[in-house]
Amino acid sequence: MSVVELSSQSELVVGLSHQLLSYSVRGLQTSTDSIAYGLAYGPSGLPQDAETNRPLVPSGHLTQQGATSSATSGQRQNRLYALQSRQDQESSLDVATGPARCYRQIKNKPYPKSRFCRGVPDPKIRIYDVGMKKRGVDEFPFCVHLVSWEKENVSSEALEAARIACNKYMTKSAGKDAFHLRVRVHPFHVLRINKMLSCAGADRLQTGMRGAFGKPQGVCARVAIGQVLLSVRCKDGNATHAQEALRRAKFKFPGRQKIIVSRKWGFTKFSRTDYLKYKSENRIIPDGVNAKLLGCHGRLAAREPGRAFLEAAH
């Protein structure tokens, strides 16, 4: 046997060993995904396509088909990428908040967060008083309310959007130190949703209306007709700005609302005339944004000089 024949045989053995090594590496990489991606193994132990029963050729080696084999492998790779992306989408699916018309009506009993109702997401609104909330009761005499004119549910997202809109306009028009805005309702009612997968191939995960109680999705406030949603107190010079701010906040709520100018002094329960009268009689005790009325009951020894009052006889 000549030297040329020996060298050719050695090159053939080396080539076959490299090819078998590449096949083994490819088989190790694809063994875990053979079922998901439609791969199988032939009688020779080499990986092959489960649909065409053709052996898979490693990258860099061309068969007799040439470009046709490369095209089919590219299509197969695209199919694998599509399958993987669909699996990732199904695993990370998060159903977004539905439209407000789905949760607007008050149909059931109150369903608050408790030890029986766990996993409730936090409300979107976290701040209920904005502006100069520490200003005294005497500084902001004017008050205007945004009143709900329907019995409905108001989501925490709507309350937060209305608060932002009202605060932004009042800050721009009147100034950040010229008003006090208060959100008067709190979202405690838990909303539920029966999650339904709508992507392709999700039929096996859906059960329809079987066990459709749902899981907590968000929270809302149950409001009645005539209940105050927002209140703004300010000076009389900014009355028009406060009404315009509440008008803009109306568009963030479902249903109907009305803007009502209060007859009271600020956030107190006294009318403006009565407040000025009690103030002149030294019967008003400031209590933050509110005020207390000094009555005629109690021990005289506990009263300060000049603060003992008797009701007028009728």
Task: Encode pLDDT of 81-107 as tens digits.
Answer: 665 555 544 433 344 567 888 899 999
Of 167, 143, 181, 139, nearest in space to 260 by CA: 143
Confidence check: pLDDT of 228 > 60: yes
Contact 48, 55 (CB under 8 A): yes
Name the 3-class secondary structure at 129: strand
The reported pLDDT for the residue numbered 9 is: 58
Dihedral (CA of 282, 287, 289, 293) sign: negative
The reported pLDDT for the residue numbered 96 is: 57
Distance CA 265, CA 271 (A): 6
DSSP state of 305: T
Q: What's the token pair of residue 50?
A: 């489960």
Per-residue pLDDT tens digits for 245-270? 999 999 999 999 999 999 999 999 99
Sheet arrangement for strand 142-148:
129-131, 179-183, 228-234, 142-148, 257-261
Distance CA 150, CA 221 (A): 13
Of the candidate ranges 13-17, 135-139, 279-283, the one whose mean pLDDT is the lowest: 13-17
Q: How confident is residue 16, by pLDDT bands cut at 50, 70 and 90?
A: low
Q: CA 133 from chain center: how many Å?
A: 27
Name the 3-class secondary structure at 160: helix
Of 158, 68, 171, nearest in space to 104 by CA: 158
Tell me how far CA of residue 87 lies from CA of 32, 36, 81, in angstroms.
Answer: 16, 11, 10
User: Domains plus CATH for the chain?
Assistant: 3-91 (no CATH), 100-267 (3.90.1170.10), 269-314 (3.30.60)
Confidence check: pLDDT of 126 > 60: yes
Supply the Cα-derived Rg of the chain in whole angstroms: 37
Per-residue pLDDT tens digits for 190-217? 999 988 877 666 666 677 888 889 999 9
Distance CA 256, CA 233 (A): 22
Helices (H) and strands (E) in the chain, counts: 6, 12
Averaged confidence pLDDT in the chain: 80
